[in-house]
A and B are shown apart, each in its own frame.
Chain A
Amino acid sequence: AQTVTQSQPEMSVQEAETVTLSCTYDTSESDYYLFWYKQPPSRQMILVIRQEAYKQQNATENRFSVNFQKAAKSFSLKISDSQLGDAAMYFCASTRARGGSNYKLTFGKGTLLTVNP
């Protein structure tokens, strides 16, 4: 079984500054994937970034990067040079990487990010 915990229900950041969203997880799987999804007011779930647990190197996508601490089971998202369009709900999620047929995502409860001009 997997659990994902986001301990910050809400965060705010000034435009152009950097913010870090926290996520911790627990899993019995030896290999798994971790994701951050963004959900703007339109409700569309948009993939921001993914991390493969067997890779030690932290994933980056433009202004978005993660700090993946496998031993601590921590997977935080850093947004640099925050923009107004980054305002959204952010969900951390995990799935196992192999075995069986159900690769369901286990989601945290989300962090609502506000970007102040």
Chain B
Amino acid sequence: NAGVTQTPKFQVLKTGQSMTLQCAQDMNHNSMYWYRQDPGMGLRLIYYSASEGTTDKGEVPNGYNVSRLNKREFSLRLESAAPSQTSVYFCASSADRGTKTQYFGPGTRLLVL
């Protein structure tokens, strides 16, 4: 039981390049989330998906797109990376019922030069 996995662990991009961050969970959760963590800012929600086939914007969606490929997988895409997107990105998932506890992946550290 791996929980929430993310790839890659670390990536360096040049300004204008694109990339996709991958996330998968094996807990049969309906809800999945992408957060970014910046120094002194805590974690902020980028996008979320309440179920397969649905996605919606969070607090800081500009410059990102997401795809909920199936129940397990939720990817985050940067179409044209900018230095302001240098951050640590976390994927999380939760069940719809019960305590709404979110379980996090190990994070992806992204550096945009």
Instruction: Note all chain B residues with C-beta closer than 8 A to A4.
Output: 42
CB distance from B43 to the nearest CB of A (A): 5
**How many residues of chain B are within 8 Å of chain A by beta carbon?**
29
Let me know if B50 and A47 touch, CB within 8 A. Answer: no
* A100-117 CB contacts (< 8 Å) to partner B: 101-105, 107-110
* B40-84 CB contacts (< 8 Å) to partner A: 40-45, 48, 50-51, 54, 56, 58
Interface of B is mostly: strand
Interface string of A16-45 (1 = CB under 8 A from B): 000000000000000001010100001111
Let me know if B107 and A44 touch, CB within 8 A. Answer: yes
* B97-111 CB contacts (< 8 Å) to partner A: 99-104, 106-107, 109
Name B58's closest neighbour in chain A (CB-CB).
A104
Interface size of A as a range? 20 to 34
Say yes or no for A95: interface residue by CB 8 A criterion.
yes
Let me know if A109 and B50 touch, CB within 8 A. Answer: no
Instruction: Note all chain A residues with C-beta closer than 8 A to B43.
Output: 45, 91, 105, 107
B residues within 8 Å of A by Cβ?
A: 31, 33, 35, 40-45, 48, 50-51, 54, 56, 58, 88, 90, 92, 94, 96, 99-104, 106-107, 109
The 5 residue pairs across chains A and B that have the minimum distance between CB atoms: A101-B50, A107-B42, A45-B104, A103-B100, A104-B45
